[in-house]
Copies of this chain bind each other. A is one copy, B any other.
Amino acid sequence: MPAYNPVELILAKRSGQALDADQIGYFIDNYMTGNIPDYQMSALLMAVCFKGLNDAETAALTEAYLASGQTLAFPEVPPVGDKHSTGGVGDKISLMLAPILASLGMRVPMISGRGLGHTGGTLDKLEAIPGFRTQFGLREFQQLVEKHGCALVGQSEELVPADKRIYALRDVTATVESPGLITASIMSKKIAEGARHLAIDLKVGSGAFMPDLDRAHELARLLVQTGANFGQKVRVLFSNMNSPLGLAVGNGLEMIEAIEYLKGNPLRDTAILTTELCSQLLLSSGMAKDADDAIAQIDAAVKSGQALRKLEEIIIAQGGDAQVLEDYSRLGSARHKLPILAESAGYVHSIDARAIGYALVRVKAGRMKVTDALDYGAGALLMPKVGTKLEVGEPIGEIHCNDLVAGNEAVKLVRAAYSIRPESCPPEDLLLGSL
């Protein structure tokens, strides 16, 4: 491989030139070995935020990420699938989707993340289960998937370490929002874990990092194209993140909502989204012959209890206390349950889901820094969606907390996140299209 001058590569990108695969590989490899320092990487990342990465550059960056670590491979049969969400408020879909699909025979090697800022993370929700481990070496992870059809784990050090380091750098240098960088980060992990079918839940709206559908489409196209470059079938669903998803926001509370779902008590919006994402993967993998078949299989997996039993199997396999399925108090407790009451009558016109996420950081349902501790019992139950009619004094929901002062602050902030106006407002669609 030729030796490049990092400054010239940064300058080329700053000038709007495309870098070739050798140049991108050189930059990533030398960053990982310490020859290229953080400050040169962050300058390149910022230049990429302005000048973008084309399809070939995005594929090359994904390849460089993959080459920085090890990868998993599973046999062709049974199909290997996974889901990725770009992050929302109250998004507990993975907790249902993984056991449902695994119970239907799909392999689901799911690598998830932690919550940061206003968004939650699947790993944090699972860790509300006492004893539940999410950190495994790559071989252990593979064995869990082979034995149980599914494992829900964090990114190991062995898997795409370049993405891990560069993601952390992007987070502190305001270089997160770039379609090419986002794509390489998502796709490298999902390719490295061995998934051949991927459903991406691309959130659009106030609680998502992607505020409008046009930019979401651009990102979706790049995600599908990048997957195709590595033989992975990618389907992207655009979903509305103007309202928090389901009823619960907070780690233990969301875990309870997921368990209730698998016991046959799903909420309307989580059911729509879970079913759609599961369907896409069953269709992509050929496990369902058409949409009706897919829906029937998903319904049967829940109604028969086999998905719940799969969740129990996963919990036990990963060291968790399976009694949480019957005794929700084991998922964390809250000394205080503070009602959030509407102060004016009318219709909910908008919900600032991002503000709700940040409000709940105060009661430790979320975190601002990766090192912040969580309170698994803290969170909120929030009933209204955009379009819901409310009377004065009617409950919007309640804050669960152990710190009364922080809880009262959260009550005010969450209430302020609901824009209530006298004129009526139609409910919004949850599914906004797909690619």
Which B residues lie within 8 Å of A174 (CB)? 7-8, 10-11, 14, 43, 47
CB pair A37–B40 under 8 Å, yes or no, is no
| A175–B171 CA distance with the chains assembled, in angstroms | 21
Residue on B nearest A175 in the bound complex, by CB: B43
**Shortest Cβ distance from residue A266 to the other chain B in the assembled complex, whole angstroms:** 38
Interface members, chain A 273-306 (any B CB < 8 Å): none
- Give the complex CA separation of A169 and B11 in angstroms: 14
- What residue in chain B is nearest A169 (Cβ atoms)? B39
With A and B bound together, what is the CA distance between A14 and B49 in angstroms?
9
Given known pairs A14-B46, A46-B14, the reply for A40 and B173 (CB within 8 Å) is yes
* A42 CB-CB contact with B under 8 Å: yes
Give A8's nearest chain B residue, CB to CB: B174
C-alpha gap A42/B14 in the complex (Å): 13
Confirm or deny: A38 has a beta carbon within 8 angstroms of a beta carbon on chain B. yes
Whole-angstrom CA separation of A347 from B351 in the bound complex: 73
**CB within 8 Å of B: which of A42-76?**
42-43, 45-47, 49-50
Query: Would you call A1 an interface residue if the criterion is a C-beta within 8 Å of the partner chain's C-beta atoms?
Result: no
A residues 132-186 touching B (CB-CB < 8 Å): 169, 171-175
Q: Which residues of B contact A49 (CB under 8 A)?
A: 14
Given A14-B49, A46-B47, A49-B14, decide whether A40 and B7 contact each other with a Cβ distance below 8 A: no
Bound Cα distance A50, B48 (Å): 11
Residues in B neighbouring A169, C-beta threshold 8 A: 39
Interface string of A23-44 (1 = CB under 8 A from B): 0000000000000011111110
Query: A10: which B residues are within 8 A, CB to CB?
Result: 46, 173-174
A164 to chain B, nearest CB (A): 16
State the number of copies, please: 2
Interchain CB contact (< 8 A) of A7 among B8, B14, B43, B173: B173
Task: Closest B residue to A173 by CB, please name it.
Answer: B43
A46 partner residues in chain B, CB cutoff 8 A: 10, 14, 42-43, 46-47, 50
Smallest CB-CB separation from A11: which chain B residue?
Answer: B174
Q: Mark A185-204, 1 if CB is under 8 A from B, else 0.
A: 00000000000000000000
Cα A43 to Cα B39 in complex, Å, equals 8
Docked CA distance A8–B171 (Å)? 11
Closest residue of chain B to A13 (Cβ to Cβ) is B174
Contacts of A14 in B (CB 8 A): 46, 49-50, 174
B43 touches A40 (CB 8 A): no
CB distance from A219 to the nearest CB of B (A): 18
**Docked pose: A173 CA to B6 CA in angstroms:** 8
Report the minimum CB–CB distance from A34 to chain B (whole Å): 14
CA distance A40 to B46 in the complex (A): 10
Chain B, residue nearest A12 (CB): B174
- Count chain B CB atoms within 10 A of each CB in A7, A38, A46, A47 and give the residue with the most: A46
CB distance from A401 to the nearest CB of B (A): 25
In the assembled complex, which residues on chain B have CB atoms less than 8 Å from the CB atom of A39? Answer: 37-39, 41-42, 169, 172-173
CA distance A45 to B171 in the complex (A): 17
Query: Could you tell me the distance between the alpha carbons of A171 and B11 in the complex, rounded to whole angstroms?
Result: 11
In angstroms, Cα B10 to Cα A172, docked, is 9
A52 to B14, CA, bound (A): 14
Q: A11 — which chain B residues lie within 8 A by C-beta? A: 174
- Rank and list the top 10 A-B pairs by shortest CB-CB distance, nearest first: A46-B46, A43-B173, A10-B174, A38-B39, A11-B174, A39-B42, A42-B43, A50-B50, A39-B39, A43-B46
A39-B41, A39-B173, A40-B42 known, 18 other contacts, Cβ within 8 Å: A7-B173, A7-B174, A8-B174, A10-B46, A10-B174, A14-B46, A14-B50, A14-B174, A39-B39, A39-B169, A40-B172, A40-B173, A42-B42, A46-B46, A46-B47, A46-B50, A47-B50, A50-B50
